[in-house]
Structure 1
Amino acid sequence: MISFSLSNEMDTTTKKSILPSAIIVLLFVAGLIGASRFLPAPNSGTKIASNNNTAGSQSLEQAVLPEQIVLPIRWGDLGKKMSDAGVIDAEKFEKLYESRGGLGVVERKMLYETNNGEIIMTPENSGIILNMLWAFGLGNKNEILERGPMMDPNYGGAGNFASTGGWTVARGDAMDHYSMHKFITLTADQQTLVEKVSQNIYRPCCGNSTYFPDCNHGMAMLGLLEILASQGMSEEDMYKIALRVNSYWFPDTYLTIAQYMQKKGVAWDDVDPKEMLSAEYSSGSGFRQIASQVTTPSSHGGGGGCGVGGDAPAPKQSSGCGVGGDTPPPVAKPRPQSGCGV
């Protein structure tokens, strides 16, 4: 009896000591099973990082290339004036875009009507606006065209550049309209401002500033600066607008520059537009230095060619700026570089 009693007591004691341990083990196992439902799947960390990188790229692209840019200029009747004067042959111009769906309502209004307000630039119409500004820069009378590097005799005449010989949609020869029309007339102060700003705005298709508008982008930017100055735009705002427009014309270039600045801890919205447009960043050689330090983005196209259609070859030129350029000017002079044409 005693033995039995001792045995029962031992069994009871053992059971009492085992029971809490068993409960703890069961709770631990149950916890693991439940928690496993919420653990990330294998490699999910990699996917999250990839998604974050994608989101970051999209955010950067939206900052550099918004869906549209509002150019705060009154276009008015400039298109009609250029058409009437023959800088733009309207029939040739429309035919150029027939195979691409024709001119849109807004672009036709810019070409033919007189009461145009601000220009809204989109990826779809940026090439057309480039060409209209090119025509304006070419035809509007300005001292930069008459006394600047375009007239340097070492280049064999102003007609040998992509910005002149490449303009094939005028009535007659493009040089018949070169700095020949007083579409707008700048005051002395406005002219000084245009000359100052134009010497600080570069383009990645070559190594020249807007002051030497030897290609379509340079001539178009010169035209834009003249309009901005004539309508009272400040120097600071001119740089801001020029950077937005250049980014649309050279999207891959400025996405790459934006990545470089982001790598340095500077958001695109915080960059200095004047600095970004300088030779250090926006000239052909400057951009190559930047591009060598970052991964270049996927291509977004853009108006890279010097021909009217953006993808048409520029004429043969002695300057080396277009296809077949075979007589480079003296090294001491600023010069158009190969690669500006298609």
Structure 2
Amino acid sequence: MGDCCGGERKDKDTEHTENCVDTPACKEENDTAVKNEQKAYTNSAQKQSRKTLVMLVAIVAVVSVSALILFSMFTSGRTNNGSALLQTPPLYGSNSIDFQALVQTVYPASGFVLPIKWGNSVKILLESGALNMTALVSAIEASKQNVTPYETEIMNGVFNGYINVNSSDSAFLLYVLWSLGVNNNNYIINDGPISKFGNPDQYASTGGYLPLGRLQLGALYILNLTASQEQEAIDVSEKTFRPCCNNPAMFPDCNHGAAELALIEMMSAQGYNESTIFQVLRNFLSMYYPQNMFDEAVVFASQGINFSSVPANTTVSYSLFSAAGAQNVGNYIQKYGLIPSRSASSGGSSCSA
């Protein structure tokens, strides 16, 4: 008897089959062969599906990790080892803290000399109308300060020394830096969050600018930064906060934020590195938020850490010097009774001069 007739025994050119038989037994054998082929195909398809699923899971994992990395990069300015400080109980109580020494460290009577020169920046602001001298003098007097000979020299463009910040010059410095921060042409103003989210004219630093002069948001070419200097300014501004809000200098929506930005841009343009810029920012902010910086110094002292040795970028970080950070610092002081006269946490501060 010939072989059973199967699909593979058929002549490829005709439907004729040779030397084969087609019995019920042969039909059953052929059906079994077909089922085996279908089963083999199904198993192969299932294996391929499992491989595809594994690949998809791997891709999702890679994408998730990438997203996490990007998120971490975006929020890097909001992380700092200061948060660990507030989770550690103090080693020393209020009786062991030299409060007077901390006051002199944070807020010295003579103020600070900032190693920055004005150049022709104030002259350009005045000549362009971004700063009006009469309006500026009125704003300074409204802050209960008088225009000093030093400030007059700056406004007249004849002063070439370093910037001073103290209790007599704080209003002048804040207003001039505010003007420089919002009017100078730079990436952070023209392409940063303040221009991308909402109306850039609605913030306190822009909408409330009129008493100083004519706002020319990001239009004046005053400070010329190289690409690397601009990147440095961006990096520092993302990590510099203030107790009046939770926004970094990268989002200068108030006068202090704009002043921070101006300092950062000036120092980058004059060739300073990040470490020096952060140190200057700490000194500058100490004069405008002395209570908040003092509270930080108390917390560090309670753990046996000299405030002068603390990295400046830590002291102006989100975890310690934003509104939320300042609130946490105040809560820590109250919880452990580090300042006996303190009945409640200090929290943040306002944006007034």
Name the TM-score, length of structure 1 as normaliser. 0.68
Please give the per-residue CA displacement for 1:16-46, whole angstroms capped at 9, x wherever unaligned.
Answer: xxxxxxxxxxxxxxxxxxxxxxxxxxxxxxx
| Residue 69 to residue 222, structure 1, CA distance change in 2 (3 Å) | same
Please give the per-residue CA displacement for 1:262-284, whole angstroms capped at 9, x wherever unaligned.
Answer: 11111111111111111100111
3-state SS in 2 of match to 1:119: strand
**2:203 match:** 161
Picking from 156, 176, 180, the partner of 1:136 is 180
1:221 and 2:265 matched: no
Picking from 112, 117, 124, the partner of 2:156 is 112
**2:318 match:** 279
**1:288 match:** 327
3-state SS in 1 of match to 2:210: coil
Amino acid at match of 1:60: L
Distance 2:139 2:280 in 1: 28
Gapped regions of structure 2 (runs ≥ 5): 1-93, 343-347
Asked if the contact 1:77/1:115 (under 8 Å) is kept, the reply is no
Amino acid at match of 2:99: S
For the pair shown, the structure with the greater C-alpha radius of gyration is 2
**1:58 match:** 100
3-state SS in 2 of match to 1:184: coil
Picking from 183, 190, 195, the partner of 1:151 is 195
Please give the per-residue CA displacement for 1:66-124, whole angstroms capped at 9, x wherever unaligned.
Answer: 22201101112322211111111111112233464631101111122244220121122
Amino acid at match of 1:231: Q
Please give the per-residue CA displacement for 1:169-210, whole angstroms capped at 9, x wherever unaligned.
Answer: 3444x2xx1001001111001000000010010111000100
3-state SS in 2 of match to 1:72: strand
Q: CA deviation at 1:224?
A: 0.5
3-state SS in 1 of match to 2:304: coil
- Alignment RMSD, CA only? 2.3
Please give the per-residue CA displacement for 1:273-317, whole angstroms capped at 9, x wherever unaligned.
Answer: 11111110011111111110115678xxxx95445xx3xxxxxxx
**1:68 match:** 111
**1:95 match:** 138
Gapped regions of structure 1 (runs ≥ 5): 1-51, 311-342
| Residue 89 to residue 271, structure 1, CA distance change in 2 (3 Å) | same
Distance 1:162 1:101 in 2: 22
Q: CA deviation at 1:247?
A: 1.0
Asked if the contact 2:136/2:175 (under 8 Å) is kept, the reply is no
* Percent identity between the two aligned chains: 28
Amino acid at match of 1:59: A
**2:123 match:** 80
3-state SS in 2 of match to 1:76: coil
1:185 and 2:247 matched: no
Distance 2:201 2:230 in 1: 23
Asked if the contact 1:148/1:211 (under 8 Å) is kept, the reply is yes
Distance 2:99 2:230 in 1: 40
Distance 2:320 2:207 in 1: 28
3-state SS in 2 of match to 1:94: helix
Name the TM-score, length of structure 2 as normaliser. 0.66
Amino acid at match of 2:114: L
1:206 and 2:245 matched: yes
Distance 1:102 1:64 in 2: 24
Of structures 1 and 2, the one scoring higher in RCO (CA 8 A, sep 6+) is 2
| Residue 305 to residue 281, structure 1, CA distance change in 2 (3 Å) | closer
